[in-house]
Amino acid sequence: MILEGNFFRVVESSRDRDLWRVVVELNPEHEIYRGHFPGQPVMPGVCTLGMVKECVEEMIGKKLLLKTIRECKFLASILPQEHRTVEIEFSIEPVPAALWQLKCKAFAGDACVLKLKAELIER
């Protein structure tokens, strides 16, 4: 799934020690919203996870696959007509066997919309 450049674009990124921060701008006109859901567009959860993965890959410079999701809580909907940007904060640590431990939160407006703990593996 390649979402960057079409579904979203990175507008800002930074790192402060172990915490990365990425701000993305959503494309509210993307065709996926026509079906999810007509008249009330909502970002699909799988697209949120794909967006996080692509941002992590871009920041650390490695191609990754989600191996295990330890915790995934969707706390609020991302409505592309209301939330033009999403802020992703994450920490990631390498562990043996080409694995990476990810802890992530995503925010739309003032609301935390996602809490994620996962293991990724280099492809």
Q: Which domains does the chain have, with CATH numbers?
A: 8-122 (3.10.129.10)
Whether the Cβ atoms of residue 49 and residue 116 lie closer than 8 Å to each other:
yes
Amino acid identity for residue 32 in this structure: I
Distance CA 68, CA 71 (A): 9
**Residue 2: predicted pLDDT:** 85
pLDDT in tens, 30-58: 999 999 988 899 999 999 999 999 999 99
Q: How many residues does the chain have?
A: 123
* pLDDT of 77 above 90: yes
| 69 close to 116: Cβ distance less than 8 angstroms | yes
Residue 100 has pLDDT above 80, yes or no: yes
In this prediction, residue 72 carries a pLDDT of 98
